[in-house]
Amino acid sequence: MLSFENVGLRYETGPEILRDLSFSVAPQSFQFLTGPSGAGKTTLLRLILLSLKPTRGLMTIFGKDATTLDQDAITAIRRRIGVVFQDFRLLDHLTLYENVALPLRVVGRLEASYRAEVIELLRWVGLDERKYFLPSVLSGGEKQRVAIARALIARPELLLADEPTGNVDPSLARRLLRLFVELHKSGTSVVIATHDLALMDQFDSARRLVLADGRLHVFD
């Protein structure tokens, strides 16, 4: 699904931010991406999402060399990836239902074909009774659950989550983790970037990818 071989990244002529990264993400796998603040976790996620291209090494995603992809190919690959951003990125003028449905509306799906799916996903994250609310009235944890539902509506093969429990209390963090574990059991590969050791200990069978000093260490 995803493979890095001696990948390095630098901005223009500056020093390498990430160097000699070699790892893979298998189908139907679960891994935590961790490391100290500023280690480059979000940057690595941006590489996977093809928002950045490596400056050296080989990165393949869904069998394609990332450095050779044109914009149409990048768009097609991104549709196979769900993303939960740290800052939610909900549209404040849209209801929860409309936010979750947005990825399907963008590709031209008719509402009749996805309405039941959107409502079921909102029910899965515990927010179906608030589907016509605007994001402005939600707590941070509720916004995070909407963001998770939106990331899943297109049934991605790979889910990336950037600090998804950074703005919630420990009990809600455990609930969110259970949602990710359920998703993994349904067949989606999951990569969660987090510095929360207590969260990782809740699912200690997951592989850990540890970023430190620009290098990645893999612990199965």
CATH code of the domain in which 189 resides: 3.40.50.300
- In this structure, the answer to whether residues 130 and 119 fall within a common structural domain is yes
Tokens representing 78 are 């991104």
Which of 155, 177, 194 delimits the end of a domain?
A: 155
CA distances in angstroms from 56 to 44, 60, 114, listed in the order given:
14, 12, 41
pLDDT of residue 195: 87
- In this structure, the answer to whether residues 57 and 128 fall within a common structural domain is no
Q: What is the pLDDT along the chain (220 residues), one digit of tens a residue?
A: 999 999 999 998 889 999 999 999 999 999 999 998 888 999 999 999 999 999 999 999 999 999 899 999 999 999 999 999 888 999 999 999 999 999 999 989 999 999 999 999 999 899 999 999 999 999 988 998 999 999 999 999 999 999 988 777 788 888 888 889 988 999 999 999 998 888 898 888 899 999 999 999 999 8
Cβ proximity of 207 and 30 under 8 Å:
yes
pLDDT of residue 143: 92
Tokens representing 44 are 């690595």
Which amino acid makes up residue 113?
Answer: S
Which of 136, 155, 174 delimits the end of a domain?
A: 155
- In this structure, the answer to whether residues 165 and 71 fall within a common structural domain is yes
When divided into structural domains, the chain yields a total of 2
pTM greater than 0.85 (yes/no)? yes
- In this structure, the answer to whether residues 192 and 219 fall within a common structural domain is yes
- In this structure, the answer to whether residues 75 and 161 fall within a common structural domain is yes
- In this structure, the answer to whether residues 125 and 145 fall within a common structural domain is yes
pLDDT of residue 174: 85
Alpha-carbon distance 163 to 42, whole Å? 9
- In this structure, the answer to whether residues 72 and 180 fall within a common structural domain is yes
- In this structure, the answer to whether residues 73 and 181 fall within a common structural domain is yes
pLDDT of residue 202: 87
Query: Phi-psi region for residue 183, left (φ > 0), alpha (ψ -120 to 50) or beta?
Result: alpha
Alpha-carbon distance 54 to 70, whole Å? 15
162 CB contacts (<8 Å, ≥6 apart)?
Answer: 41, 42, 45, 83, 84, 85, 86, 193
Strand partners, 211: 216
Residue whose pair of structure tokens reads 């402005």 in the numeric block: 136
Alpha-carbon distance 26 to 148, whole Å? 21
- In this structure, the answer to whether residues 140 and 36 fall within a common structural domain is no
Strand partners, 208: 32, 219
Query: Residues 125, 90, 114, CA angle at the centre, nearest 5°?
Result: 55
Strand, coil or helix: 48: helix
- In this structure, the answer to whether residues 115 and 169 fall within a common structural domain is no
Alpha-carbon distance 66 to 24, whole Å? 14
Strand partners, 209: 33, 218
Beta strands in 67-206 (DSSP E): 81-84, 158-162, 189-193
Containing structural domain, residue 76: 1-80+157-220
